[in-house]
Amino acid sequence: MDISVIVPLYNEAESLPELHAWIKRVMDANGFSYEIIFVNDGSTDASWQVIEKLSAQNPEVKGIKFRRNYGKSPALYCGFARAEGDVVITMDADLQDSPDEIPELRRMIVEDGYDLVSGYKQKRYDPLSKTIPTKLFNATARAVSGIKNLHDFNCGLKAYRRDVVKNIEVYGEMHRYIPYLAKNAGFDKIGEKVVHHQARKYGKTKFGLDRFVNGYLDLLSLWFLSRFGLKPMHVFGLMGTLMFFIGFIAVIIVGTNKLIALANGIPARLVTDSPYFYISLTMMILGTQLFVAGFLGDLISRSSEQRNNYQIEMEL
């Protein structure tokens, strides 16, 4: 099969027939063999009834229905697991992503050799309250991930080589960072294509401003896991050792000053009356806790079934 199109959706009943017809028109015009996997993420409208009708009339349409709303990442995860095409395309169901981009996205994967191609909505039909935070978010994601050539990490329109979607785990709200996940899995041939962005035709957006706060937290988590996930002692142990060492030296200085004063007959207050003593003691305690956290993290990491899950490209 040439292409799998995965469409996660939540309450998009009105747009689904039009989206399916548009995808079918593009696929038939280019002679692609394909499947369309609609992942219904707990919709409360008639989305699933529309998918059932489309599937009954069109053998290429497949559907996955969640019992409740889990989010876009779980929807993509299940869609990736079921995809059978050599090239996997993801797009949103709100008709803001154009299926006319599919042939060129596929060509970039098949002919240009990219592992992943991300859409770039250079001209957006969104309010400033959405576009400005998006620009800040993408600038941060580029700096943290090291993928400098991507301008729109969160664009729903993406193309993947089949091996990519079968070797990454999209969980939580990590769909924003699929290029970063792919890079961490060893798929570093990541490209970008300027794509057409259309104004929403039906309904309203399902995302609020809280996604930007969650996005930064997820990015921090992903960066930490990619850098220290298998070696937690390298960060916690180092921080703990440094903090303990600084606190220990400070305690010695406080105690030495007390002894020098006593040796010279100079009245000196109790060590416990000095605020520096308590600051030093606190640093030693925190340093010990950080070191123990790193040690426990290392033990957990070593007992994980994924500790030796390395990405092997080929064997002879």
Q: Is the pLDDT of residue 192 over 80?
A: yes
Identify whether 310 is part of a domain. Answer: no
Same domain, 239 and 286: yes
User: Mean per-residue pLDDT for 290-309?
Assistant: 70
Residue-level pLDDT at 134: 74
- Residue 56 covered by a domain: yes
- Domain membership of residue 316 (yes or no) is no
Cα–Cα distance measured from residue 6 to residue 192, given in angstroms and rounded to the nearest whole number = 19
Assess whether 68 and 112 both reside in one domain: yes
Residues 174 and 206 both lie in one domain: yes
Q: Domain range for residue 188? A: 3-228
Q: What is the pLDDT of residue 36?
A: 97
Pairing of strands 87-90, 3-9: parallel
**Residue 130, C-beta contacts closer than 8 angstroms, at least 6 positions apart:** 205
Q: What is the pLDDT of residues 151-166, one digit of tens each?
A: 888 889 999 999 999 9
CATH number at residue 198: 3.90.550.10
The three-class DSSP label of residue 201 is: coil
83 and 113 fall within a common domain:
yes
Residue at 156 is within a domain: yes
Given a cut of 80, whether residue 315 has pLDDT beyond it is no
Domain check: are 121 and 257 in the same one? no
19 pLDDT more than 50: yes
Provide the CA 8 distance to its chain's centre, in angstroms. 16
φ and ψ at 113, to 5 degrees? 85, 20
Question: Which pLDDT tens digit goes with each residue over 72-87?
Answer: 999 999 999 999 999 9
Q: Is 80 exceeded by the pLDDT of residue 304?
A: no
31 and 171 both lie in a single domain: yes
pLDDT score for 193: 94
187 and 260 in a single domain? The answer is no
- Beta partners for residue 159, in sequence order: 89, 117
Domain count, the chain: 2
Residues 125, 46, single domain; the answer is: yes
Domain end point (choices 196, 228, 260): 228
Q: What's the confidence (pLDDT) of residue 316? A: 45
Q: Does residue 315 lie within any of the structural domains? A: no
Give tens-digit pLDDT for 207-261: 555 665 666 677 777 777 676 666 777 778 888 889 999 999 988 888 888 788 7
In a domain, 144, yes or no: yes
Instruction: Among 228, 256, 286, give the residue marking a domain's end.
Output: 228
What's the confidence (pLDDT) of residue 306? 56
Q: Looking at the structure, tell me whether residues 255 and 203 fall in a common domain.
A: no
Indicate if 257 and 222 belong to the same structural domain: no
For every residue of 34-64, DSSP letters joined together read EEEEEEE-S-SSSHHHHHHHHHHH-TTEEEE
**Residue 138 has what pLDDT?**
82
Cα distances (Å, whole numbers) of residue 120 to 6, 65, 152: 18, 29, 5
- End-of-domain residue from the set 175, 201, 228: 228
> Is 287 a domain residue?
yes
- The pLDDT tens digits of the residues spanning 101-111 come to 999 999 999 99
Instruction: Say if residue 27 is in the same domain as residue 168.
Output: yes
The pTM (predicted TM-score) of the whole model is: 0.73
Mark whether 69 and 56 lie in a shared domain.
yes
Residue of 174 and 101 predicted with greater confidence: 101
User: From the centroid of its chain, how far is CA 23?
Assistant: 27
